[in-house]
Amino acid sequence: MALSASPPAQPKGATGCLVLGDGTVVWGRGFGASGEALGEVCFNTAMTGYQEVMTDPSYDSQIVTFTFPHIGNVGANEEDVESRGLGAVGCIVREEVTPHSNFRARDEFFAWMAAHNKIGLSGIDTRALTRRIRVNGAPSAVIAHYPGGEFDVAAMIERARGWPGLEGLDLVPNVSRTATEDWRGGHWQLGFGYGESNRERPHVVAMDFGAKDNIFRSLVRAGAKVTVVPGRSSFDEIMALKPAGVFLSNGPGDPAATGKYAVPVIKALLDANVPLFGICLGHQMLGLAVGAKTSKMHQGHRGANHPVQRVGNGWGESAGLVEITSMNHGFAVDSDSLPDGVEQTHVSLFDGSNCGIAVTGKQAFGVQYHPEASPGPQDSFYLFEKFVGGLG
């Protein structure tokens, strides 16, 4: 159903809607969980991996519009999730979710959405919604699904209008682990699942700001033993685990807000010459720790088809190569704010924004994209090998 500048009458058969803070109401067919959810509406350009997207903790407090029209066709299973039921609060799709056609499926996508308390909305003109986001930026909205078709639209408009958005919000407490965990899962193989790794060295301590599980599996695959700690862990708590290196994970929200407690820890780790590797939010907070600035993007980068070029002297003969990457971020490191002693190593070929940094004279680097998501499919796995291989 099409977008409208003013609230249209509820059409017959509508069981779901998207209500924007400016009063725009988009009617459709609801699926998944019943009820309402509040968040920022963004769009993702990936053609596959919808379960991974919906369970990526970086999407906390966000409603994902899929630009690919057919979502849910391969059903759902418990091997393709990235977290413990966390992630996006809802999703918007063009076509109605049909029964699956895939030998790995163990459930239908609409049933899986309901079981994980996520709201879906189908029958939407996702091209028009995507264009609106590209022009006006990501709006605050309420997504709702009521099978009986009863909606308090006025209340939803006020709720969406009153939400401040992601800027200034620390969302890490919503998604971070609360206790230390020894990670054992390894590389996935068809018919065998993820298995376990018995490698004991080197030891990587991963700060969980809302991490995707496949990041830990990738670190194990690269040869590390991984211990995951809460995002609010102190420098002393981390060092007590005797890490060979520390990983800074992805996560949701504003890096400047999370950085109020995380950046001092990262600075202390840098001062102690502990090797560091950051992804997404972890990359942004590494940037803040070395004196750079971050800012909210107009529409963000989200999808599995983003070209990134390696630049700078640190990549030797590989400088200039292009990786096809997976991204999910609404904030970015301002490349113009990088201080002396910090090199830009990767840039987006879509808009020239920063996608990687390295600290001169230290084993510390970060990338904005998600190398564990395998969009290339293996263009970016070298980053895990570079980090773990440099730990001795």
**Annotated active-site positions, please?**
280, 370, 372
Q: Can you give the length of the chain in residues?
A: 392
Question: DSSP string spanning 129-193?
Answer: HHHHHHHH-PPEEEEEE-TT----HHHHHHHHHH---STT---HHHHS-SS-EEE-B---BTTTB
For the CA atoms of 332, 348, 366, 65, the dihedral, rounded to the nearest 10 degrees, stands at 60
Distance of CA 291 to the CA centre of its chain: 24
Give the separation between CA 333 and CA 356, rounded to whole angstroms.
Answer: 9
Please tell me whether the peptide bond between 99 and the residue prior to it is cis, using omega within 30 degrees of 0: no
Among 16, 38, 32, smallest CA distance to 142 is for 38
Bridge-based pairing of strands 245-248 and 276-279 is parallel
Map tokens 């519009």 to a residue: 65
Say whether 248 sits in a helix, a strand or coil: strand
Give the separation between CA 318 and CA 345, rounded to whole angstroms.
Answer: 11
Return the amino acid letter for 384.
F
With beta carbons less than 8 A apart as the criterion, state whether 303 and 310 touch: no
Say whether 368 sits in a helix, a strand or coil: coil
